[in-house]
Chains A and B, each alone.
Chain A
Amino acid sequence: MTTMSTTTPATTPAAPAPAPSATGRARRGLPPGLWQAAGPAAVFVVLFAVTAALQPAILSGVGPINLTTQATAVLLVALGQAAVLHVGSIDLSNAAAAVLGAMVLALALGPLAAAAPLVTLLVMALVGAVNGLLVAFTQVPSFALTLGTLGVLQAASLVVSDNTTVYASANGEVVSWLFIQAFAGLPVAFWFAVVVAVLFWLVLRRTSLGQALTAVGLNETAAVFSGLRTRWLKVAAFSFSGVMAGAAGICIISQAGAASSFGLGSDLLLPGIAAALIGGTAITGGRTNPVGVVFGALTVALIPITATALGVTPQARSLVYGVVVIAAVALTASRARGAVVK
């Protein structure tokens, strides 16, 4: 019995979430600073080099266009997820929200024309805000709550679409230009997403709002004692996730012109989380580099291409994503002795 009690240091805080500063001495994973600064870009460059060596076709012609087109929706969802992870929560409903957003847009394009995308973003911001309000004010675990909203949103898109495919029959030109090639031959929508990532980076690093969000993620109790409106900051993070899911929905309509409950976008959940985590976002909160998430999303889009080049069947894609998510968290996880991880 005595050996058991001595292995647990008496100095570790009693709260389940260990303070990051206390873990530096005993950690074994990669230092988060190093990973955050260079890791995501390095992983992408190495993976891209390997793929290019095996399959030179990816360098020329439609290769880069396909890659960035695939990465756009993942990047948008991942940026929203990164914001939620940044305040220490998780949003499991964002892929379902993206599909619902695509349906809302498809239905709104006819009557509202150019205003439809804006309406879509507003509706999805409201969906995200409801998630945030419930998490912040009723103090329930975000994974359980967003699992519930995932069910509600899935049912909503089944009802909206009447269990079939919804086509954007009129005014398709309002969004169809998003995947026209622009700067450097890459689609407009991808550059939009990159601009959003850079703006998000500026907000996090240069504004008091960003600092406050970081404070909530690093130590929520301390943030409350500092007089921050922690609950509204969480609502803001979840609303941003909703807006980004809506933007991903706009991309779905722009690419496919239609949306269905089990079609394009319904499998964005894990790729989105993977992109955020590979991009250097810590699941414990407070550590996010939106520019890293851009490389995370590119890596996620590249993984199936690399896997095919290596001779792995594309059917193993979800298996690879699963392994990548676990590996990304395991590599950066804190391993303080005696800390309780649920």
Chain B
Amino acid sequence: MTGLTTVTDVLTPAPPTTGARRVRRGHGRLRSSGEVIALLVLLLVFTLLNPGTFATLTNARTVLDQAALPLVVGVGATLVILMGSIDLSVEGVMGAAGMTFVLLSANSRGGESHGALALVAALAVGLLIGLLTALIHTRLRVPTFIASLGVWYIGLGVATLLYGTEGIPNFSDPATANWASRLLLGLPHSFWLAAAVVVLGLLVGRYTRLGRSAYALGADERIARDNGVRAARTKVLVFVVAGGCSALAGVLASLQLGAGSVTLGAGTLFLTIAAVVIGGTSLGGGRGGVARTALGVLLLTVLNNGLILSGVSPNIQSAVSGAVLIGAIVAAAWPHRSRLRVVK
């Protein structure tokens, strides 16, 4: 218990100079409101550009349905990035978990339906893969970007093996096949699922020892460890949570697609990382949060949706996310440039 109190002592009282603190806090508020303004400007511009198609209830549902996937992944990714680590395994985990879910549900390949067990098994696959990444990182001391890069392909391999050589497995139960787009209180199920995950993520980040420890590790791992933060345990738990989020996203993606696919996560990785970074979470760790990521996801989804409605080719969608990612990390790093700063 003393560990926890010392951590909060480190986190809450004033950092060295109150001047610096005031600057940082003001800066944070400014950036956060900047994103809200950007979102409002985008909404206004696209409404004017596409009268009658953009600002409609149907399109709002489409946007929220599209935002669901990056929102779910983004919660896990934010916690990982807050620690100063990175999880590149998202698309592999989504493939493996999505495939598990489809094959254990009623599908066109036959075989019996396992009901809720399919969901449990899919999530378990994600948790296990997250655990694998974490253990490779903490036990073998492999940097997370390499560990999770390897695990990305391990996940894809698992998905390919599960897929086997038979035809594409489609959901045969129509109630499952259209679950994601069915409405509850006027909004799609997928969005409610994502909203629940975001709220959970917010609570974990703000009120639990795990969330606090993640912030502390990202801010300065050495100081955090000296103050009793259990670095290895926190990292393992955060990566397991991130694996679970990716697995849930894999299940959701297969529900949206109505079928199983090894590559159903393609493109999710840099969409999510772009969203986390433009939300204002620092890639160096220690600053940011789940709420900012949710804002970043909405910003990117509205941008992509609005561009496509305005007649821009969907082919450039990944360029939009990529360019926004580049712009966001450059803008975030710009004030910290120094001739002697070492960034790998």
Contact = CB atoms under 8 A, between A and B. Distances in A.
Q: Among the interface residues A90, A144, A315, A329, which one has the most CB atoms of the partner chain B within 10 A?
A: A144
Given A139-B337, A159-B313, A163-B315, A5 B226 contact: yes
A207 B161 CA distance: 48
A224 interface: yes
Interface string B296-309: 00000000000000
A318 B160 contact: yes
Contacts of B337: 138-139
Interface stretch (A44-52, A69-77, A121-129, A146-154): A146-154
Contacts, number: 196
A330 B142 contact: yes
A318 B156 contact: yes
A341 B344 contact: no
A89 B342 CA distance: 11
Interface in B161-179: 161, 163-164
B315 A139 contact: no
Interface stretch (A30-38, A54-62, A112-120, A319-327): A319-327
B269 interface: yes
Contact of B141 (A14, A89, A147, A333): A333
Contact of A151 (B145, B322, B343): B322
B341 A139 contact: yes
Interface in A135-192: 135, 138-145, 147-156, 158-159, 162-163
A323 B150 contact: yes
B317 A221 contact: no
Interface residues of A, number: 64
Interface stretch (B26-34, B67-75, B110-118, B324-332): B324-332
B270 A148 contact: yes
Contact of B84 (A139, A220, A313, A342): A342
Contacts of A342: 83-86, 143-144, 221, 285
Interface in A279-303: 283, 285
B153 interface: yes
B2 interface: yes
Contacts of A140: 283, 329-330, 332-333, 343
Contacts of A317: 157
10 contacts: A5-B226, A88-B344, A139-B336, A145-B329, A152-B322, A155-B322, A330-B142, A339-B141, A340-B222, A342-B86
Contact of B146 (A4, A17, A320, A326): A326
Given A156-B319, A341-B143, A319 B329 contact: no
B277 interface: yes
A196 interface: no
A335 B141 CA distance: 7
